[in-house]
Structure 1
């Protein structure tokens, strides 16, 4: 931006210098032409040029006429230059005022495109305005999505607690366990939101240590194996011991999110968790037997609050944040995520992490 301002200043200085040169040339060349004609039409008498430096009344008239003509030209040129510069700047000021008042659809007009620096300045302003509008729209979407996700567990909690207070429900162990499940759901939603939001703002803290990725995978698998078996899944591990510079807690969170995503959206069957190793990356894969996701949805699968369409007989119960949390954690580690279909038509979700430099 400083470079553009300096270019604009340089152009203004050059333009004003050109106006001054033109004004001087008009006065000088005009004097030369007029006095040349006068000496041609009315030559001075022969002899020594007496009174050559004495200014007479006609000379004042000539000088005044030339200066007036030069002044008119200078004013015209200055007005044209001012219009080229001030028009887009006024548009910028008006656009900034409208945006400050809440009109994020306001845009500035570039005006005369021959003045490239002001046109670039207007383009930068309009780009900023577009990003502000996109951020506002995204914030509105996030607020609505968060409110929607919070509504169900809060409604259940409120209803059950009011029922206990009014004597409608007995505070049995089963009822308390159900309430704790809703609290756990709220806690997980808040934590997922925190991870995604901090990563988007570049403030997600990581505590990197050299970690054996197979050990972290084993910890997660051991904690969810019984739930997967109860849901009809058979779990196979195809991992190898390999060191990764990572935050072990966050990696376990990402692995759990991938497995939980398969449990919610895949049909019961074989679930494979594997690792593959390249020269630079360790790739963690979670593969199911189907039914996979539609190509249109695959492009936005890792965006927050997105869910695949399920049949009426199935309900995911998810928040639509699981895969976005996986992406946030992968990006915080300098890695990547992607989705692809397996050879049998199922889903393969991959998270690639940089290997440890030993």
Structure 2
């Protein structure tokens, strides 16, 4: 832009100088008429500068016009346009950002389409079963006994859990947490949650070790933290084969800030390095060759868990040495009171053990 201004200025000065020299030579004007020569030269200089500035402006604005056209197409839902990078560094950075935005929106669109498919699939099975069972009872095919009502209750529970997960996901992405914080011994929560899930570990012959003997107090919402622990322990169980091992530990970390650290370590399937962040995206469920995918998971448990942690002013991170080498999930919660904000407790939001979906 600066160079274009300089070029127009130089062109105007050159035109003024050339016209002034020609007038003096052709007409033989003396010094007294120099003002007239200067005025005429100025007019010719302006006349030369105007078309030059228009041409340069169009040249400079052409990449911006392409960017504007691309953003309009993005607004219309066309995310497959990739702009060529111009030679000018500033414009190239802008075009690169627009291309990045288009790729992100395209990925969001794919996730939204998969969301509809996943929700429809999750709801179709229990609704079909409920309809068939109710129609069977109405036609006298099925006997309305205790087993029938238990089956109906299970299908209703699946629908309720899915509705609760979707409600929690919506609030998480809107950062609409309204947590009921109070001083809570996280070590006690961890032990209680581990004992709650221990029968599932025993059924799959997976060892669960708990290192949470020392009281560790944090200012948090105990129900929501329990929800996070259930998700992490459920995922660790799903990742392990028979005779696997899972370790749950709780301790404090004085530096860089006073935090409660909860770690869930397993020796299961592990996570590839490029998936360590992707697993926290909604509706992401990792698949491993030769290993059946976990059934019933909605793929949003870790998304909700991280949202809860961040609403407390903490976070959840994942580490893994690679596929087949286990994984470690770390929950950090500040011990000091954090600013209020977030998700209110909704009756539909369940903290029942979810079907794991990490792997």
Which interval holds the TM-score relative to the shorter structure? 0.7 to 0.9
1:287 & 1:122 partners in 2: Cα distance?
43
1:323 & 1:148 partners in 2: Cα distance?
20
1:296 & 1:108 partners in 2: Cα distance?
30
Query: Contact 2:270/2:327 (CA < 8 Å) preserved in 1?
Result: no
Find the partner of 1:256 among 230, 233, 243: 230
Q: Structure 1 123/268 Cα, relative in aligned 2: closer, same or farther at 3 Å? A: closer
Q: Say yes or no: does 1:187 pair with 2:160.
A: yes
Q: Say yes or no: does 1:336 pair with 2:316.
A: yes
1:123 & 1:314 partners in 2: Cα distance?
37
Query: Contact 1:302/1:323 (CA < 8 Å) preserved in 2?
Result: yes
2:183 & 2:105 partners in 1: Cα distance?
40
Name the counterpart of 2:104.
131
Q: Structure 1 191/352 Cα, relative in aligned 2: closer, same or farther at 3 Å? A: same
1:313 & 1:281 partners in 2: Cα distance?
37
1:237 shift after superposition: 2.7
Find the partner of 1:140 among 113, 127, 136: 113
Q: Structure 1 139/19 Cα, relative in aligned 2: closer, same or farther at 3 Å? A: same
**SS where residue 261 of structure 2 aligns?**
strand
1:120 & 1:312 partners in 2: Cα distance?
43
Query: Contact 2:259/2:334 (CA < 8 Å) preserved in 1?
Result: yes
Name the counterpart of 2:356.
none
Q: Structure 1 352/104 Cα, relative in aligned 2: closer, same or farther at 3 Å? A: same
Q: Say yes or no: does 1:98 pair with 2:77.
A: no
Query: Over the residues paired in the alignment, what is the CA RMSD in angstroms?
Result: 4.0
1:271 shift after superposition: 4.6
1:30 & 1:135 partners in 2: Cα distance?
61
Name the counterpart of 1:74.
49
Q: Say yes or no: does 1:161 pair with 2:134.
A: yes
For residues 94-135 of structure 1, give each alpha carbon's deviation from its aligned partner in whole angstroms, at most 9, with x where no partner exists: 223333433222355565x44x65555444444433332232
TM-score by length of 2: 0.73
State the structure with more CA Rg: 1
2:170 & 2:107 partners in 1: Cα distance?
16
Structure 2 unaligned residues grouped into runs of 5+: 338-359
Q: Say yes or no: does 1:237 pair with 2:210.
A: yes
TM-score by length of 1: 0.73
1:84 & 1:125 partners in 2: Cα distance?
20
Runs of 4+ with deviation above 6 angstroms: none
**SS where residue 292 of structure 1 aligns?**
coil
Name the counterpart of 2:270.
293
Name the counterpart of 2:261.
283
2:120 & 2:250 partners in 1: Cα distance?
37
1:265 shift after superposition: 4.1
1:337 shift after superposition: 2.3
Q: Say yes or no: does 1:319 pair with 2:293.
A: no
The structure whose RCO (Cα within 8 Å, separation 6+) is larger is 2
1:263 shift after superposition: 3.8
1:309 & 1:297 partners in 2: Cα distance?
14
1:298 & 1:148 partners in 2: Cα distance?
25
For residues 308-355 of structure 1, give each alpha carbon's deviation from its aligned partner in whole angstroms, at most 9, with x where no partner exists: 44867896443333334333333333222214469xx77454223134
Q: Structure 1 71/264 Cα, relative in aligned 2: closer, same or farther at 3 Å? A: closer
Query: Contact 2:122/2:296 (CA < 8 Å) preserved in 1?
Result: no
**SS where residue 154 of structure 1 aligns?**
helix
1:251 shift after superposition: 0.6
**SS where residue 205 of structure 1 aligns?**
coil
Q: Structure 1 118/231 Cα, relative in aligned 2: closer, same or farther at 3 Å? A: closer
